[in-house]
Structures are given as structure tokens and as C-alpha cells.
Copies of this chain bind each other. A is one copy, B any other.
Amino acid sequence: MATAQQLFHERGYDAVSVADVTDALGINPPSFYAAFGSKAGLYQRVLDYWTDTEAIPLADILRPDVPVADAVAAMLEEAARRYAFNPAAGGCLVLEGTRCNDDDAREAARALNLGAETFIHDYIAARHPEAADQVTDFVATTMSGLSAKARSGHDLSRLLATARLAGSVLTQVLPA
């Protein structure tokens, strides 16, 4: 499962063939389909696995006992760190998955992303209800951009600088 995740993260859903997966896993196509049902089925399981192992722990970062702006800024920086962690598999598995050309896989990734955005929105809205919509959009857009730029070569220091710049908006618009 970890190797499948790595494949999807490195190349993206569309560019990974089931032959790639079966080769990497050392199994044959019938075993693959007995185990996962389809390529999209494997992707679902990979997303679940990712959620349990590598997803940003939003609940730990977005804490009620710190200023909202600080918490969200910390989340952006953590995203930058994770997106740059493996240069061969840059960006966010889920955000990149929302842009693939397979309907099932894209909707699965979008659903996961929507859940995360809802979580962020609710966190912000608890203390800044009137700014939550705008700020959530801004943060989600920034994370999409960070993921995209991670894939096209921006290294950790550049992503972090961008994340900090974006974070500086939050302290302006979300006063403690």
C-alpha cells in the first residue's frame, strides 16, 4: 500500500498504469483485481491509507487555545514542509488527485479535500464567523498553489517563504 501511494504521489493518478502497480508490487493483474477491484478502487484505498498515515494532523494544529491566525499560519508552514519533503513526490497527494482525468478518482480526492476545507472553515468560523469564507478560500488556494509549485521544482525554503508571506495576511485579517 505504501509503494502504491508512492507511485501515485510521484507520477499522479493518470500517469500510473496498473502494469506499473503490478510490477512494483510483484503481483499479476488477476491478483490486483481480486484485491482492489479496479485502479480507482486501489486509489480509494491509498487515499484512506494516506489519511491515516501522512495527512496533516489538522486537529492537532488548529487548536482552540492558540490564536486562529497563528494556527492557520502554522498549518500553511506545515503544508510547505510536507509538500517539499520528498522532491521526487512533491505536493499533496490529494490536491494533485483532484486534478486527474479519471472521474471516480477525481471525485474521491475532491471529497477528501472538501472535508479538510470544511474542517478549516469551521475552525475559523468559531471565532471569526464573518471572515471564515474568505479566509478559507484564501488558505485553500494558497495550499493548492504550494502543491503545484512543489511539483514544479520549488524547494523547501521557497515554499516556506511563500507560506510565511501568506500567513502574514492572516494576522492582519484575523486579529487575536
Contact = CB atoms under 8 A, between A and B. Distances in A.
Given A166-B169, A169-B168, A172-B168, A148 B138 contact: no
A151 interface: yes
A154 B137 contact: yes
B161 A165 contact: no
A73 to B, nearest CB: 12
Interface string A135-176: 101101111111011011010001001100110110011000
A108 B12 CA distance: 20
A134 B99 contact: no
Contacts of A110: 152
Contacts of A148: 95, 99, 141, 144-145, 148
